[in-house]
Amino acid sequence: MQSIRSVLRESIEQLGLVEHLTVAYILVSLLCAALCSLVIYFVYKLFYRGAVYSENFAVLIVMTTVITAFITITIGSNLVLSLGMVGALSIVRFRSAVKDPLDVGFLFWGIAVGITSGAGLYPFAVIATAAIALCYILFCLCARGRRTFVVVIKYEDKAEEELEKLLGEVHGKLRGKAKYKGENELTADVRFKKKNANLLDRFTAIEGVTSAVMVEYTGE
């Protein structure tokens, strides 16, 4: 008489829930994940738009992609083991704060590539990686000429009208105003291309402006 364990194993195999892996399948899946993750790595490195680039985070993207791939291979090869792995992964908690929301997108990109590569969907992983990389590069190239600055201006009351007029011309977004004894302070976001790099001189040229400071803003 067959044991309950043997009957259960045969039933699972008949349903196709257990896949017998080969060395070639594992190597091709991990290689596909690694190559696609290198594409993500170089796109992140070459077109990074933040203030401080982190090489550790770029390497983390590669590691996450490959690790996700072999986790997917493991889960797809054994139903019983996959249930245990899901339970083990559910207790993992990450406490590191992500400064740039765009970094989360790169992590999800790597995870998605790892899942598709581990599942054996190599053409989909390669095509999707190329399409996402192309879209991101195009967005970066389109936005490369424009820069965002925070401008802080201290001025007298007589300069307020001219300042508002100039901010309207450059589509400045007012953040706030503060009024001190005999002096005002204005903070605004300004976006412009390189050809308008003399904008700070235009602010300081207004009669009644005592000082003007412009700081580039990266969103961090």
Question: Could you give the C-alpha distances from 102 to 19, 60, 136, in angstroms and in order?
Answer: 36, 15, 11
pLDDT surpasses 70 at 18: no
Predicted pLDDT of residue 159? 78
Torsion from C-alpha of 88, 93, 98, 102, nearest 10 degrees? 30
End-to-end CA distance of the chain: 67
Predicted pLDDT of residue 157? 75
Looking at the structure, tell me whether residues 132 and 151 fall in a common domain.
no
Range of the domain at 26: 4-143
The answer to whether the predicted template modeling score (pTM) of the entire model surpasses 0.85 is no
In the three-class reduction of DSSP (H, G, I as helix; E, B as strand; rest coil), residue 182 is classed as coil
Rank 45-54, 56-65, 177-186, 195-204 by mean pLDDT and report only the highest.
56-65
CA dist 109 and 29 (Å) reads 16
Angle at 185 between CA 99 and CA 183, to 5 degrees: 160
The shares of helix, strand and coil residues in the chain, as percent rounded to the nearest 5, are: 60, 15, 25
More reliable by pLDDT, 114 or 150: 114
Domain boundary among 120, 143, 166: 143
DSSP summary character for residue 198: T
Domain boundary among 119, 143, 167: 143
Domain boundary among 143, 175, 194: 143
The model's confidence at residue 1, banded by pLDDT at 50, 70 and 90, is very low
Segment 87-119, tens digit of pLDDT: 555 555 556 666 677 888 898 899 899 989 888
Average pLDDT score, the chain: 76
Please write down the HEC assignment for all residues of 9-28.
Answer: HHHHHHHCCCCCCCHHHHHH
Predicted pLDDT of residue 196? 52
Predicted pLDDT of residue 175? 78
Average of per-residue pLDDT across 134-163: 78
Contact call for residues 77 and 71 (beta carbons, < 8 A):
no
Looking at the structure, tell me whether residues 37 and 108 fall in a common domain.
yes
Q: In what order do the strands lie in the sheet with 146-155?
A: 173-180, 183-193, 146-155, 209-216
Average of per-residue pLDDT across 127-141: 90
Looking at the structure, tell me whether residues 130 and 69 fall in a common domain.
yes
Contact call for residues 179 and 138 (beta carbons, < 8 A):
no
